[in-house]
Amino acid sequence: MLFYGHKFMIRKNHRPLYREVVAEAMQIAWHERKWWVLALFAGILQTGGMYDAILVFTKRMADESYTIFSTASLSAIVSRLPVLDLSSFSAFFYSMMNFERLVFFGLITLAILVCSLIAQGALIAGVGERVRGKSRSLSSALSLGAHHVWRIAGLNVITLGLLWFARFLVLVPVLLSWQNLNLPHILMYLVAFIVFLMASIFLTTMHLFALNEIVLHDLSLEQALESALHLWRRSWVIILETGAVLLAVGAAILLFTGLLFAISSLPLLVLMLSASLLHQVTLFWIAYALGWFFFTGLLLLAGMFTITFYYATWNKLHGRIHEGRVVAKFHRIIHWIHSLHPS
């Protein structure tokens, strides 16, 4: 049977894809908690999610479009810039202090980005070995990530750069729609958003598959991108389905985290209510701070687990596609329908 230019042999004894991949990735993410810290840093640039990242991007578009293109905002930014008076030593000293702070925070940002790049490679190395039934130490994974840092940096520049460019293109019709709401602008926005959606799915997949090729197979950046593109062409339906599965699992993890916080924070809520009734301001704010730290800690743990799960899932899927042992659920459904009505 021919589907999307590929011949798929649907066998009755074919191993299930998502039940195995998701279950094994979940086990790896839970039992290999030593990778959670790496997941925290890796998620700064690439969380491993697909549709959830698109939803976050979409949520921020309106505010960002107004901030970027608004003349009032631009005037406000310019008005806050320090005025350098060369005739005044104090003004010059003040501007130099601002420059030193800028350099300092720039170096910190650069260090965080480098850590994120190394963490991406180390996380792939760690979960990749675990998927194959082997074990790798944290130091060994970090060394491998550092060894490939330049190729990983190039990969991030290409995929994330194109993704941000596609995101910027969507902001233009959003602003035009705000200034003059009419049918052409609305259609322009819809077309731009569809392009952005397709670009996000494609570039996220390319990033994660190429990352596996760079770290686990020691391919060059060009070879890794070519291999990732080949895998995308072979199995794009499975990739789209996997993105939907990850979105559902991520939403379930977030919901579970919220329920866990709601149940476990009841004693703190009672303490806050009691402190409020007794006018114990200090006790109230102590309970509030404890609740805030507890909630933040839960979110961080859930985020680290989810990112580790995402990377393990993509790594497992990457291996299954390479082996040619995957059939999309969509193809199975079509085959089942076809079997009910044979021609």
- Which of 1-15, 24-38, 325-339 is the most confident on average? 24-38
| Percent of the chain predicted with pLDDT > 90 | 18
Is it the case that residue 88 has pLDDT exceeding 80?
A: no
How far is residue 127's CA from residue 135's CA, in Å, rounded to a whole number? 9
pLDDT at 221: 92
Q: Over range 210-232, report the average pLDDT.
A: 91
| Percent of the chain predicted with pLDDT > 70 | 69
pLDDT at 186: 72
Helix or strand holding residue 124 (H, E): helix 89-131
pLDDT at 122: 92
- Extents of the domains making up the chain: 15-69+91-340
The 10 Å Cβ neighbour count of residue 80 is 7
Q: What own/partner pairs with CB < 8 Å and gap ≥ 24 does 33-38 have?
A: 34/126, 34/138, 35/123, 35/126, 35/127, 35/138, 35/141, 35/308, 36/301, 36/304, 36/305, 36/308, 37/304, 38/119, 38/122, 38/123, 38/126, 38/138, 38/141, 38/142
- Which of 56-60, 89-93, 171-175 is the most confident on average? 171-175
Task: Encode burial over 3-21: b for 16+ CB neighbours within 10 A, e otherwise.
Answer: eeeeebeeeeeeeebbeeb
- Which of 59-73, 118-132, 181-195 is the most confident on average? 118-132
- pTM score above 0.85: no
pLDDT at 3: 36
pLDDT band at 53, cuts 50/70/90? Answer: low
pLDDT band at 341, cuts 50/70/90? Answer: low
pLDDT at 287: 87
- Condensed to tens digits (0 to 9), the pLDDT of residues 255-291 reads 999 899 889 888 888 888 888 888 888 888 998 889 8
How far is residue 103's CA from residue 89's CA, in Å, rounded to a whole number? 21
pLDDT at 200: 80
**Average pLDDT score over the chain:** 76
Q: Over range 245-250, report the average pLDDT.
A: 83
